[in-house]
Amino acid sequence: MAFFKYLVHIWEKMDKMNKKTITLVYFSPTATTRTVLGEIAKGTGYDVADVCDITLSQAREKIPPKIDSSLVIFGAPVYSGRLPSLAADYFKQLSAPGIPAVPVVLYGNREYDDALLELKDICIQCGCQPLAAGAFIGEHSFSTNQIPIARSRPDKRDLASAFDFGQKIARLMDSTAKGLSCAPVDVPGNFPYKEPTIPGGVPFIDVTEDCTACGTCVSFCPVEAVDEKAGFCTMDDICIHCCACIKACPESARIMKQGNFKDIAVRLNKTCDKRKDPEMFFASR
């Protein structure tokens, strides 16, 4: 009996070693990054071993998980041509020595500037081997019905590209497993990275009389900037302008104030109306 149990144990261990698994690590206040990463993962056909969603502060306070899957995908939105600093700071704490990685950024149809390079560099810092990378388009956080910017992206076409990207990653993984080594993937961007230009502490959100105090905004805010005791107002010195609370509000009771950010949204609506398509990069063998 003991010998039989031992055999089952060995078989389970070998099965686990042979299974191709994937870990997803992402920050995604308005869910476009999460959606695209999910579709890439589907395309690989790998089993999702772990999902490390660091959007909410409670998740970022936990000890970073040990990554021991066959592949890891890192995802984040582009903020001002860079990674959101709280996402970058968290990613840097991860360790995944020798694990193939895919950095992916989502941007709102303007530009991704140095963000993809920054994420690739972080993957290397974590000990990973970046073998592919992607820049996808998501509805801009500042987009509304009245001022649309990359409205409803990622759409069907984007998701088909994401799935196809996943399939190509799986094929590249197979060929590297056969001993064909790759140099790290090349991606656009410059170092030193550009300085982010979004101003801090600027009045951003108005809460209208449609607010029913349901608290949805509180639960969606990645930095706990919604003050429940003060009529669900946003604390401007903490807010990162991700617009998660605006998009999640079931009553559409949170709106962008007139001024700085609304002006940016109006400008982007005019200058970024030409559709951009996802870009995918692969390590050469």
Return residues touching ligand FMN (CB under 6 A). Answer: 28-33, 77-81, 106-111, 138-141, 198, 241-243
Contact 177, 52 (CB under 8 A): no
Q: Is 109 or 129 the residue whose CB approaches ligand FMN more closely?
A: 109
Minimum CB distance to ligand FMN smaller for 39 or for 129: 39
Closest approach of ligand FMN to the CB of residue 157, in Å = 15
Which residue has the CB atom at the shortest distance from ligand FMN? 138
User: What is the closest distance, in whole angstroms, from the C-beta atom of residue 151 to ligand FMN in the complex?
Assistant: 11
Which residue number, 49 or 246, has a Cβ lying nearer to ligand FMN?
A: 246
Whether the link from the prior residue into 192 is cis, omega within 30° of 0, is yes
* Angle in degrees, 0-180, between the axes of helices 156-177 and 32-44, rounded to the nearest 10: 50
Smallest distance, ligand FMN to C-beta of residue 228, A = 22
- 103 contacts: CB under 8 Å, gap ≥ 6: 73, 74, 75, 116, 119, 120, 122, 123, 130, 133, 134, 187
Asked if 96 and 128 count as a contact pair (C-beta separation under 8 A), the reply is: yes
Nearer to ligand FMN, 58 or 284 (CB): 58
Q: Which of residues 120 and 140 has its CB atom nearest to ligand FMN in the complex?
A: 140
Beta bridge partners of 254: 207
Contact yes or no for 154/137 (Cβ under 8 A): yes
Q: How many Å apart are CA 143 and CA 232, to the nearest integer?
A: 22
CB of 28 to ligand FMN, least distance (A): 3
Tokens of 81: 């041509």
Residues whose CB falls within 8 Å of the CB of residue 73, separated by 6 or more in sequence, listed in order: 22, 23, 24, 25, 26, 37, 40, 41, 101, 102, 103, 104
CB of 231 to ligand FMN, least distance (A): 23
Least Å distance between CB 197 and ligand FMN? 9
Q: How far apart are the first and last CA of the chain?
A: 49
- CB closer to ligand FMN, 60 vs 110: 110
Q: Which is nearer to ligand FMN, 28 or 234 (CB)?
A: 28
Work out how close the CB of 32 gets to ligand FMN at its nearest, in angstroms, rounded to a whole number.
3
Least distance (Å) between residue 123 CB and ligand FMN: 18
If the CB atoms of residues 100 and 108 are measured against ligand FMN, the closer one turns out to be 108
Among residues 103, 79, 20, which one has the least CA distance to residue 281? 103
Tell me the β-bridge partners of 136. 106
CA proximity to 103, closest of 135, 80, 78, 127: 135
